[in-house]
Amino acid sequence: MMTETLGGVRIAGTTPYPWPYDGDLGGAGTAVLVVSPAAPWPGELDESVLVAVAEVASAIEQAGGAVISLSTAPPPASPEGGPPVGLPTGKHSFASAGVDGFYGSGLEAHLRANRIERLVLVGLGAETSIHSTMRTANDMGLECLYVADACQPYDAALAPHAVSMIEMSGGIFGAVATASAVVAAFTGRT
């Protein structure tokens, strides 16, 4: 579902502020960043998260936005391996040299060259790779949205803290939404 305001169209129910702040919810200029660690996922993949990631990616792509796959390097003590199976693959893929998806990758150059101003973040490693990448994107001036139920943490106990850190100080790193609200807004469902 979306909210129409005098300033434009926004996703309904985002916290702590209406997203995007400028009301420009067009597909052009928006990308969904599907984040996954390069190392094998250490536990069970949550099927509901995988479904939510696929639905968000599909809705944004159908609205004219980009789907970008991002593989982040494991912490030094983690074993090497391939990305987890089950996440949608974007037309463009990047691999970072660290936990932050911008570190040692061509992601920033790609976003700038394609005039992407809004990032919707989903995938695996909510409190690590997704959070680190979101912080950097926000510092670079990108409008960021964390889709809480489309992000799987390594440690479920840390998920509420990851959301809290994004929302503190009025949305210091961006805003938070649910997958259903994002899908509804980009597909025009109410």
72 SS3 class: strand
C-alpha–C-alpha distance, residues 178 and 184, integer Å: 10
Boundaries of every domain in the chain: 2-187
pLDDT of 119-148, one tens digit each?
999 999 999 999 999 999 999 999 999 999
Q: What is the mean pLDDT of residues 173-177?
A: 96
Nearest of 33, 84, 27, 88 to residue 55 by alpha carbon: 88
pLDDT range class, residue 85, cuts 50, 70, 90: low
Q: What are the b/e assignments for 78-117, b being 16+ CB within 10 Å?
A: eeeeebbeebbebebebbbeebbbbeebebeeebeeeebb
**Percentage of residues of the chain with pLDDT beyond 90:** 69
β-sheet bridge partners, residue 31: 66, 119
Give the distance, in angstroms, between the CA of residue 183 and the centroid of all CA atoms in the same chain: 13
C-alpha distances in Å from residue 61, one per residue of 66, 76, 186: 6, 34, 9
Mean pLDDT of all residues belonging to the chain:
88
User: Considering only 3-7, 18-22, 33-37, 39-43, which range has the smallest mean pLDDT?
Assistant: 3-7
- Fold observed for domain 2-187: Rossmann fold (3.40.50)
Measured between alpha carbons, how far is 145 from 153 in angstroms, rounded to an integer?
16
Residue 2: which of 189, 187, 185 has the closest Cα? 185
Closest CA to 52 of 17, 84, 26, 88: 88
- Is the CB of residue 179 less than 8 Å from the CB of residue 59? no
Residue 86 has pLDDT above 70, yes or no: no
In one-letter notation, the amino acid at residue 35 is V
